[in-house]
Homo-oligomer: A and B are copies of this chain.
C-alpha cells in the first residue's frame, strides 16, 4: 500500500471480488428474461419442492443477514415470485412459498445457470474444478474463523 512492489490487485481477494461481480452481472443478465436474479437462487432452491419456510430460515439458508433477506423477499413478492402465508404456530412469522408462476419457470432457470457454470469453468479439467472448489472451501472456512474470532 506504500510500496511499489506490493499489489493488492493481484491478491486472491481481489480476483474473487471481480469474479463475484462478473458472475452476478452475467447471471442477472441471462435470468432477466425469466424475471429471476442470482441473489434469489438460494430462496428458489429452498422452496422449489413446495416447501414453506420463514424469513429467518431463508436468511440462514442463504447465508445473508435477516434484513437483507427481508428486502430480497419484498422485491420477490412485488415481482410475483413468492407469496406469504401466516404461520399458524407463531403469529410473529409468515411462511414463504413460491408462486405457481415462479415454479413453472424453475427448469428454464436451472438450464440457464448450468450452462453458465459450464462456460465459466471452460478450459478447466474436472480435477481442476474440484481443486478450485476445495481451495475455496478452505479459504471460506478461514474467513469465517476470522470473523468468529473478531466477534464471538
Contacts and interface: CB of A to CB of B under 8 A. Distances in A.
Size band of the interface chain A makes with B: 35 or more
A1 B42 CA distance: 9
Interface string A34-50: 00000001101100110
Interface stretch (A71-79, A83-91, A115-123): A115-123
A1 B132 contact: no
A44 B42 CA distance: 35
A110 B6 contact: yes
A70 interface: no
Copies in the complex: 2
Main secondary structure of the interface of A (DSSP, over half): helix
A136 to B, nearest CB: 4
Nearest to A111: B1
Contact of A2 (B48, B120, B138): B48
B113 A142 contact: no
**5 smallest beta-carbon distances between A and B, as pairs:** A1-B110, A22-B143, A20-B20, A15-B136, A2-B106
